[in-house]
Structures are given as structure tokens and as C-alpha cells.
Amino acid sequence: MRFLGQVLPVDGYFCLLKGHLPNDYTTSLTHLYQPLIGIQAVMLYQTLLHELSFQQESPQTHHTLMNYLNIPLDEIYKARLKLEGIGLLKSFKKSEDHFTVYTYELQSPFSPNDFFDDAMLSQLLYHQIGYQKFEHLKNHYTKWTYRDRGENITVSFNEIFQTFTPSLEVVQPVVNEEPSEVINVDLTWIEQMLKQRMIPVGKVLTSDNRKLISQMMLLYDLDSYEIEKSVLWALNEENSLDKEEFKTACHDLFKSKHNNSSVKLVEKVETDEIENKKEPQTKEEMLIQELETISPKQLLEDLSGGKQASEQDMKVIREVMTSQGLPAPVMNVLIHYVLLQSNMKLSKAYLEKIASHWSRVKIKTAKEAMEFAKKEKERFQQASAKRQSAPTYKRKDSKEIVPDWFKERKKQTNKPSTAEPKQPVINLEKEKAELEALLNQKNNNRFQG
């Protein structure tokens, strides 16, 4: 991320504290938050917190923070973003008369008990410090002033952090209107799956469980079908969701999906640091971008003119998607391709045939799926055209080499046998003349007698 120039030393700032600090907030900052966000972010939080009592009518400058913390301004900016991402700070920016003033609204950290009640934070800490230290901490141990603060520019969790380091793919950040809040995930897929299995939706998808599912989906970067598997695995005999079993299932799927990568907070890699990301220029690029972000359900509804996707179609898609393990963007391309090739009919057999092929060649993105489908179609068309245009050839005489012994044998076979008598050659004209002469002679003798 490009931090230089985001904030200038002459820019001013005010501090506010929302709510009340828990008595053991320093314990939470040191033992629970610091392993996740680092010492510089914690130092910045505590510095802003202790400046509340020294504030005057005029703002302090960021140069003051540089002197307090003894670190460059770009490092202060990075630490600020980590505080925003973890939910300890909200930032507001206001520009007046060529002078920029920030308002830093400090959020109360969780007390240790509340920290461990938060599924995402507790899971992150578990993976960061290990089982033994985590269990030890867990076993050992909640005057807001209004001012015109300007535009809310606080970044969200997934704009700053990701839970694994990507090797090739770049995960695009999802914009969240409410900073520092968990993104609400569309759980329609899970609702339909539970209904078809006659499992009470209301009992499974409680408000707490919805939050947990959303957190785990974001934390472990899981697709809808993977979350479905985890939910089914974690259901007990009373059709209630065992939260610990669910978190364990999500973690196991993450390890399998990302080759046993560890789950740790790292700063999010910006797209322009890996490749020069450009806005889509062609219709095909725009389509690929759409297929990368839209859900299969929304795609079906868009292709149906806004009509609600049928349960039967959704069942077919879910079964194919889960059985072959296709990511949602790849499934979108497959749906789009099959509908175009089948006169807008969603054939399960056709879907399964192509899906199994794409699964074997390990297609992971919408772009890969689109390019592969185009190549396969071109190859089929070329083969078909070649068969139709192929000329009809007459069968050529055999030019095989015949051995001498076979030729001699053939000559001997064709020779007439000397043991058999020769057939006499019949002269028809001579026989006819002799027969007429014989008849004339017999007639003359009869007349004379």
C-alpha cells in the first residue's frame, strides 16, 4: 500500500473517546490486541488516548505524533489503519481553508471476557499465539462528545487485513458501508439447503449463528458450498449448530484449500503492487468482472429478466457445484455457457459433464473458465469443419511387395493339369453343315423307295 503522502505533518487532529474504557483495557491491549496488530498500533492508540486530557481548542499536528512515537509519518499512518481495521479507531477527515483536520474517535477495546466471546477475534488470536498460550489466557481471564467531524473515512477489516498471503490471485477488497463491522453474507444458499433437508432454518440460523457464519466465511475465505459442508458437519442430534465444531470444520477446509497455510493477520496486498490492474475495457472483460463478483443465484435471475430463480435450478447448481468443488465464479461461467449452448435450458447432465472436466483441469477463476470454454468450442468447430470438408478418395491399388514364392505358386495354380484330357474344340458351322447333309440324304432315300 502506498502510505507516503496520505497524511502530512502539518495536518491537525483531535481525539475523542466513544464509550467507557473497561478497567482491564490495558490487559486486553497488551495480551490480546498487540499480537494481532503489533506494538506500533498499540502505542498509537495509547498515545491518542492519553492526549485527550491535554487537548485545546486548536488541533495538534501530526508532527507532534512523530515526536512522541519517534517513528516516520508513513509508519504512523499504517498503524492507524490497523487500529481502524481491528475496530479500535474511527477516523474522520475535514478540509477547510486549505487546512486538513482529522478527528480520531477511539473505540473502547473489548474486555478480556468480551474479547473471547467474539468468534473472529478469538480465532485470530488462537492462530497467532498457539493453543497453549491461548488456553492459558482464556482460562485466566466494557465522555462521548459530539462535534462536526466531517466525512467518515475509516477503513474496514478486510481492506487492511487478510488471513493468508496469496501466491498468484489477488483478492479484491469488498467495500463495507459500516466500518469495523462484520460483513453480512448472503445465506440464501444455506437456507435452501436446510429447507430441502427438512432442518429447521430458524433453529440453525439464529442471529448469533449468522454472525458466526459470516465471520468464519470472511476469516477463512470460504465459498458458499464450503460453508454448507461445515454447517452440516457441525449440526448435532437436536439440529443445533455446535459452534466449536463449526469453527473446527471451517479451519480444516481452509487448510485443505490453501495447502495447510497458517491463519495470521497480514497487511492486505494491494492490486497495484502485484500487477497493473486496469479497468475493464471490452465487453468480455466487463462480463468476466461481473461473473467474478455475482452469485450464481443472482446470475440466474439476471438471465431470466429479473424473475426469481426456481428451487429446482438452484438445487441442480448446488449439487453440481458441491460435488465438483467449483468456485462460484467458475460456476457462473459454466451456467452462462450451458444456457447459451442449450437454448437457455439448464441441463443437469450437461452441467455435470463440463463441470467434471473443468474440475479435473483445476480451473479456479472466471477468466480461466471463459478462456478454456472458448478454446474447447473452437477446437470442436475446427474438428467438425474438417470432417465436413474432407474429400472422398478412391481406394488405391495395393502396392504391397509380393514374395517370389507366392508368384510361382499362383502360376502353378493357374496351369491346366496334364492328367486331365483336353476338351475337344467344337466347330458349330461344320456340325451344322454335316447335319443338313445327313437330313437331305435321308429324304432322298425315302422318295426313291
- Cα→Cα distances 181→46, 85, 143, 158, 332, Å: 22, 9, 22, 10, 29
Provide φ and ψ at 103, rounded to 5°: -115, 120
133: how many CB neighbours lie within 10 A of its CB?
14
pTM of the model: 0.47
Q: Cell 435471475 identifies what position?
A: 301
Q: Cell 473497561 identifies what position?
A: 22
With CA atoms as reference, report the closest residue to 263 among 35, 11, 20. Answer: 35
pLDDT, position 179: 37
pLDDT, position 178: 40
444: how many CB neighbours lie within 10 A of its CB?
10
Chain centre distance of CA 196: 25
Residues in the chain: 449
Helix (H, G, I), strand (E, B) or coil at 427: coil
Query: What burial letters (b/e) apply to 169-202, b meaning 16+ CB within 10 Å?
Result: eeeebeebeebbebbebebebbebbbeeeebeee
Element (H, E) at 16: strand 12-18
Q: Is 203 exposed, middle or buried (0-12, 13-18, 19+ CB in 10 A)?
A: middle
| Alpha carbon distance 328, 336 (integer Å) | 12
β-strand partners of 18:
107
What cell numbers appear for 368 in the block?
480461466
| Alpha carbon distance 369, 373 (integer Å) | 6
CATH 3.30.70 for domain 12-114+128-157: no
Element (H, E) at 254: helix 243-257
Contact between 205 and 194 (Cβ < 8 Å) = yes
| Alpha carbon distance 408, 402 (integer Å) | 11
Widest distance between CA atoms in the chain:
176
With CA atoms as reference, report the closest residue to 327 among 279, 286, 368. Answer: 368
pLDDT, position 181: 43
Q: Where are the domains of the chain?
A: 12-114+128-157, 188-267, 278-386
Return per-residue pLDDT of the chain as tens, 449 residues.
Answer: 466 678 888 999 999 998 888 888 998 999 999 999 999 999 999 999 998 888 888 888 999 999 999 999 989 999 999 999 999 999 999 987 788 999 999 999 998 888 888 888 888 898 888 888 988 888 887 344 444 567 777 877 767 776 655 443 433 433 333 433 444 566 777 888 888 888 888 888 888 888 888 878 877 777 777 888 888 888 888 888 888 888 888 888 777 776 666 666 666 665 554 445 566 678 788 888 888 877 777 788 888 777 777 778 877 887 787 778 788 888 888 888 888 888 888 888 888 889 888 888 888 888 888 888 888 888 877 777 777 766 655 555 555 565 666 666 656 666 555 554 555 555 556 665 666 666 666 555 555 55
Tell me, what DSSP letter sits at residue 33?
I
Helix (H, G, I), strand (E, B) or coil at 223: coil
Residues 6+ apart with CB under 8 A from 276: none
| Alpha carbon distance 126, 248 (integer Å) | 12
Contact between 78 and 21 (Cβ < 8 Å) = no
Provide φ and ψ at 204, rounded to 5°: -85, -50
Q: Cell 478462456 identifies what position?
A: 371
Tell me, what DSSP letter sits at residue 54?
G
76: how many CB neighbours lie within 10 A of its CB?
23
| Alpha carbon distance 221, 250 (integer Å) | 9
pLDDT, position 438: 62
Element (H, E) at 267: strand 266-267
> Which value, in Å, is the radius of gyration of the alpha carbons in the chain?
42
What cell numbers appear for 4 in the block?
507516503
Tell me, what DSSP letter sits at residue 138?
H
